[in-house]
Amino acid sequence: DTAVSQTPKYLVTQMGNDKSIKCEQNLGHDTMYWYKQDSKKFLKIMFSYNNKELIINETVPNRFSPKSPDKAHLNLHINSLELGDSAVYFCASSNIGSGANVLTFGAGSRLTVL
């Protein structure tokens, strides 16, 4: 039933490792996003895909690579993890075509880099 689901919910890893976070939405939305919430609770957009095409790409290190195999999935791969990557990563989706663009968020994936 979950509208936007992300896995894993918790991820603890060592510096230098490569990890992925997966996101799936079953709402039929045309747009998906990745947001990062840091320790100061600031929530900032990282990427946005509309129908599998990248439409927003904020200034994030190129160690972060989103991949959208279809419009219901948007995965986030992170290479060479650094301490500063520790944060909660939220996936979200919306239907830009509806004109209202109400975002539905996943529960978040807490990444801890040791």
In the complex with another protein, the residue whose CB is nearer, 79 or 112, is: 112
Q: Which stretch binds another protein (CB under 8 A): 20-28, 41-49, 63-71, 72-80?
A: 41-49
Binding map of another protein across residues 51-90, x = CB under 8 A, - = no contact:
----xx---------------------------------x
Structure tokens at 86: 């520790």
Is there a contact between 108 and 50 (Cβ–Cβ < 8 Å)? no
Burial string for 75-97 (b: 16+ CB within 10 Å, else e) reads bbebeebeeebbbbbbbbbbbee
Q: Which stretch binds another protein (CB under 8 A): 16-24, 63-71, 77-85, 91-99?
A: 91-99
Among 42, 82, 84, 114, binds another protein (CB under 8 A): 42
Q: What gap in Å lies between CA 90 and CA 33, rounded to an integer?
A: 8
